[in-house]
Amino acid sequence: MSGWQRMLGAVLTGCMLGGMAAPVAAQPPRLEPLPAPATVKPALAKLGWHLFFEPRLSGDGSRSCASCHLPSRGYADGQPLSRGYNGTEYFRNAPGLLSVRLKNRLMWDGRLDGADLPTAVRDMVTEAHFMNADGRLIQERIRQIPELLALWREAFGAQSQPYGPQIFVAIAEFLKTLDGGDTLVDRVLRGDKVALPAAVREGMTVFSGKGQCIRCHNGVLGTDGKAYRLGVPEHPAIADEPLRMITLLRHHATMGVPNYMAERNDPGNYVVSKDPSDRGRFLTPALRGLTHTGPYMHNGMFATLDEVVAFHNQGGGPGSELQPLGLSTREQAALVAFLRAWSAPLRAMAEPPAYDYWVTGAAR
Ligand code: HEC
Ligand code: HEC
């Protein structure tokens, strides 16, 4: 690659990260098949698997990652709004984690970089409303569980001691193994000759054509990693349930939102950029595995894919950046059939055995 090509590449990437339109549309957006599985360090991923299911990673030992990211639900939780740690409630939907390694931004407001999964894991462990623990506490707990200590040493070396930041790295390594699986849509995208059901074929055409879905839902996962305002109605529980409002306001305070007590709705990406035009914008969600992960949208306001498609078709709600599409009932049903064909059956995920603390508590 010549110097100027590298520079142009950097300029384009810079613009995309800034959420602005690239100055030169290199290629029309398109869908891409799932790449080969990630190469992971097996001993590290195995430790991460144990830790993902380990409730002693939460302050009072009551919940693990799997309490809110259920393997049987594509690692979402089936609730419109996620629960929080004991004595708290959250104000957004828990996203599924299939193919999370391929996301370039994380969290509904896009506050974290997808390339840095360990930081997302750290926040989940340490935030008062998720697991309310800290690295030093949980590293000592792991040290007192002989089987986990043994797994730790397989991953990090015979002389190693559990260490907070490496706990997050191990769980992130496990997360990299959670791919959505090969779907009918992937086979078409790879150019295989597959007999697609007529509705799926029609849905795929509407998705890239009249429905304009591909403008925002593109690439491998069906997301451009940017945030838009669709005008999804507020979830009434945020205003009605003090525990959810408390977490929302706390989030605003943490993110340094000016005059945050006045912000009683979820303003999405605004808390990251502080740019008022980003108020109500949420990250375009990935569209793989949707049959497992409902309810949908940042606040779980829609129970079914039919409702989500009808909402997009009407041009969204107040302040939406969508245009009404005028799709027929049949075209909307075809879109739903296409979205369903983009889900693979879930891979079974065994739960690791539950281990006890070292009985004498002797330091080792
Ligand atoms: C109390 C429920 C809860 C627990 C426990 C929990 N999560 Fe989450 N997780 C959430 C919610 C809710 C979000 C979305 C937060 C947002 O967008 O503001 C989320 C987001 C994430 C994301 C970003 C996903 C994306 O697509 O943006 C990752 C990765 C993640 N969690 C991993 C974990 C891991 C690993 C653990 C265990 C260490 C864990 N979570 C524990 C509820 C939970
Ligand atoms: C302007 C960008 C844009 C376009 C165009 C668009 N979407 Fe979306 N879509 C989004 C955003 C942003 C969300 C999340 C909104 C929220 O939660 O507030 C979303 C949510 C969804 C969801 C819910 C996924 C989940 O996990 O909750 C589905 C399904 C979906 N869109 C399908 C479609 C289809 C089908 C089309 C074409 C008819 C389409 N989208 C067009 C931006 C877009």
Q: What is the pLDDT of residues 101-141, one digit of tens each?
A: 999 999 999 999 999 999 999 999 999 999 999 999 999 99
CA terminus-to-terminus distance, the chain: 54
**Greater pLDDT, 361 or 61:** 61
**CA–centroid distance, residue 213 to ligand 2 (Å):** 7
Q: What is the pLDDT of residues 212-232, one digit of tens each?
A: 999 999 999 999 999 999 999
Q: What is the pLDDT of residue 9?
A: 38
As for ligand 2, residues whose beta carbon falls within 6 Å of it are 211-213, 215-217, 228, 230, 232, 282, 284-285, 287, 290, 293, 296-298, 305, 308-309, 312, 321-322, 335, 339
Instruction: Name the band, by pLDDT with cuts 50, 70 and 90, for residue 320.
Output: very high
Q: Amino acid letter at 282? A: F
Ligand nearest to the CA of 133: 1
**CA–centroid distance, residue 146 to ligand 1 (Å):** 28
**CA–centroid distance, residue 25 to ligand 1 (Å):** 34
Instruction: Name the band, by pLDDT with cuts 50, 70 and 90, for residue 362.
Output: low
- The count of other CB atoms within 10 Å of the CB of residue 4 is 8
CA distances from 240 to 236, 248, 265 (A): 6, 13, 12
Those residues whose C-beta lies under 8 Å from the C-beta of residue 133, and which sit 6 or more positions away, are 57, 58, 59, 125, 126
**CA–centroid distance, residue 95 to ligand 1 (Å):** 7
The answer to whether the CB of 50 falls within 8 A of the CB of 125 is: no
Q: What is the pLDDT of residue 360?
A: 66
Q: What is the pLDDT of residue 1?
A: 37
Residue identified by tokens 């809110």 is 68
Atom 42 of ligand 2, residue of closest alpha carbon: 284
**CA–centroid distance, residue 130 to ligand 1 (Å):** 8
Mutate which of 205, 312, 320, 323 to test ligand 2's pocket (most atoms within 8 Å of Cβ)?
Answer: 312
Q: What is the pLDDT of residue 218?
A: 98
Q: What is the pLDDT of residue 229?
A: 98
**Which atom of ligand 2 lies at the shortest distance from residue 301's CA?**
17
250 vs 252: CA distance, rounded Å? 5
Indicate if the pLDDT at residue 239 is higher than 80: yes
- Which token pair is 198? 């007529």
As for ligand 1, residues whose beta carbon falls within 6 Å of it are 57, 63, 65, 67-69, 82-84, 90, 92, 94-95, 97, 100, 103, 106-108, 120-121, 124-125, 130-131, 171
- Which token pair is 308? 């989500």
Going from the N-terminus, what domains does the chain have, and what CATH number goes with each?
42-175 (1.10.760.10)
**CA–centroid distance, residue 96 to ligand 1 (Å):** 9
**CA–centroid distance, residue 124 to ligand 1 (Å):** 6
Mutate which of 79, 105, 213, 217 to test ligand 2's pocket (most atoms within 8 Å of Cβ)?
Answer: 217
Q: What is the pLDDT of residue 263?
A: 87
Indicate if the pLDDT at residue 14 is higher than 90: no
Q: What is the pLDDT of residue 27?
A: 82
Task: Kindly report the average pLDDT of the chain as a whole number.
Answer: 93
Indicate if the pLDDT at residue 26 is higher than 80: no
Atom 25 of ligand 2, residue of closest alpha carbon: 296
Q: What is the pLDDT of residue 359?
A: 77
Ligand nearest to the CA of 204: 2
- Which token pair is 144? 């007192």
